[in-house]
Amino acid sequence: MWPQEPTVRDYGPLLQRLEAAVDRVRVLGSCRHQPVEHIVNYTSNAALGPRDELTTAVRKELAIALKDLLSHGLFAPSQTMSLVLAPISCLLPYRPETQTMHPWELFVKYYHSKNGKAFVETPARQLSQSFRLPVGGGPVTITPKQSLLWAVHTVLKEHGRYKRGPDTEFKALVCMALNEQRLVSWLNLLCKSGTLIHPHYQAWSYMAQTGFEGALRILGRISHLKFRLPVDLAVRQLKNIKDAF
């Protein structure tokens, strides 16, 4: 539950932590940046190792700072909330029975609201994603929405079987977003999804107060960097054990 103390509602320190994490990743990413073609591979064992400084900064600093800011005022509405009131729920008074919610769950809700599973599992889409083939004979153009649905689906598929927690899945999604250079665009899609945002954020939350605009500008500082981060780091050992048998 969310306490009502003013210090809890102050998002300033959370924004500062995000900015510090972004600056650290920017410095590390710039040092390692190489002018070569960026290839995204979600399951490559050739990805950076767990002790890599950049990987650690992304997973333990940037992802956590982003999670904490997205969590500010985020809650799971009670099942008794009327669907009629949902669009204006962020204007309703604080109700102590509301429970906190993990940001990863919000991405999963977005995935389901857009029929992500049906979209991804369409045979034509699977061929297009696997071999970069056009769908319907046109040029290969993957929109931010399509790539986000693929990413959430991939995390659910790769991590769900090992019953990893939402923190692990959220970190994997952040790594994917950086690899794709789509972190800002994916977050922007979520922030502009009023049917998801309004029922799940308190009126005093950073999201409701600012639309997450300041955070998106800060994250934009690393949008130009090309990453090859491991996205299966938390489950790789489990996968290797399974493959051994």
Average pLDDT rounded to a whole number, residues 192-200: 95
SS (H, E, C) the chain: CCCCCHHHHCCHHHHHHHHHHHHHHHHHHHHHCCCCCCCCCCCCCCCCCCCCHHHHHHHHHHHHHHHHHHHCCEEECCCCCCCCCHHHHHHCCCCCCCEECCHHHHHHHHHHHCCHHHHHCCHHHHHHHHHCCCCCCCCCCCCHHHHHHHHHHHHHHHHHCCCCCHHHHHHHHHHHHHHHCCHHHHHHHHHCCHHHHHHHECCCCHHHHHCCHHHHHHHHHHCCCCCCCCCCCCCHHHHHHHHHC
Residue 12 sits at φ, ψ, to 5 deg, of -55, -55
Instruction: List, for residues 104-147, the tens digit of each pLDDT value.
Output: 999 999 999 999 988 887 755 554 555 454 555 455 578 999 99
pLDDT of 200 higher than 90: yes
- pLDDT tens digits along 19-74: 999 999 999 999 865 444 333 344 444 444 434 899 999 999 999 999 999 999 99
pTM above 0.75, yes or no: yes
Least confident piece of the model among 12-16, 137-141, 204-208: 137-141
Longest dimension (CA), the chain: 57
| pLDDT beyond 70 at 209 | yes
- List, for residues 149-178, the tens digit of each pLDDT value: 999 999 998 877 766 689 999 999 999 999
Work out the mean pLDDT of the chain and round it to a whole number: 80
Domains of the chain as residue ranges with CATH: 6-244 (1.20.58.900)
Q: With a cut of 70, say whether residue 237 has pLDDT above it.
A: no
231 has a pLDDT exceeding 80: yes
